[in-house]
Amino acid sequence: MINSSDSVVVCGGGGFIGGHLVADLLKKGHKKVRVVDVKPTSQWYQVHPQAENIVADLNDLAHCRTAVKDMDVVFNLACNMGGMGFIENNKGLCMISVLINTHLLLAEREKGGVKRHFYASSACVYNGDKQVSKSTDVFLKEEDAYPAMPEDGYGWEKLFSERMCRHFREDYKIPTRVARFHNVYGPFGTYEGGREKAPAAICRKVIEAKMSGKHDIEIWGDGKQTRSFMYITDCLKGIYLIANSDTFFEPINLGSSEGVTINTLVDIVEDIAGIKLKRTYNLNAPKGVNGRNSDNTLIKKVFNWEPDTKLRDGMELTYKWILEQMTPRFSKK
């Protein structure tokens, strides 16, 4: 079990999920927390002075050796990723991230003594033929990753890295654990610039429409695509449960089973904002697969738990934070 006396490194800790994880580890009493991210600290989503903060490119094996030195636990959240617009237009860049997990595992094998290696995978590993329906009643089970036909670029990188974790666990006894994240959202995340995901993007668009007085919104695709979205606090709880497990080692879904259409997500944000907008649909924009929702049968069986924050509740907190970030730019006009 991971405890507060363990030294922990969070790779990709300058990102959205990583920043929340570092904050929670410090809150739980961890005294030695190392944070590594390729971005300058000025671009980190959260910076925690209590942690050891390092700017380094983990594609480089030497930097991975530095990252894991003297560490008991490794959380690998580092990769090139973003919303569907980024993923579909940066396949090569996404694939390069295979170096990060590979080099971390190599560095841990050289070092020895790592108690846990947690790898953040993605629902993008799932076979595309399983995701053609737009029904909210279609859920992806862990076995649906094979036969392999994942999201091109990003999904292949994640699936390959899952296999690396498996074989380093089997061959070199590195205690790897893997979670397949389904659309994590919440405050302190990307909401503009091209890497944002649907919940934050829709919050931003609704806020822009309301504050500008131009009451219309562009939706990518026909709005009938289905997704499930997991609030950040549920994600953290799931990370700890999976990382701490001594009996379950295989990749497992970590996501909400509350599937909704993108149109329903817009409905929710409009209701929070107290506004109704005219919708236009950009059928040429990146929109991803038709349907991707988390089947939580396995996580409920193994851990007697599943992410359970209601989408409306999580979106209200997310909207409030994004509104706080955006209000100053409109107040100057």
**Partners of 116 in beta bridges:** 73
- Say what angle helices 262-273 and 198-212 make with each other, to 10 degrees: 40
For every residue of 301-313, DSSP letters joined together read: HHHS------HHH
| Distance in angstroms (rounded) separating the CA atoms of residues 177 and 117 | 6
Beta strands 259-261 and 226-228, pairing class: antiparallel
Output phi, psi for 279, to 5 deg.
-105, 135
Query: Which residues on neighbouring strands pair with residue 121, listed in sequence order?
Result: 180
126 carries an active-site annotation: no
Catalytic residue among 45, 119, 126, 154: 154
Provide CB contacts within 8 A for 249, sequence distance 6+. Answer: 169, 176, 177
With beta carbons less than 8 A apart as the criterion, state whether 112 and 23 touch: no
Rounded Cα–Cα distance for residues 241 and 287 (Å): 32
Distances (CA, A) of 284 to 85, 125, 291: 11, 24, 18
Active centre residues (catalytic): 154
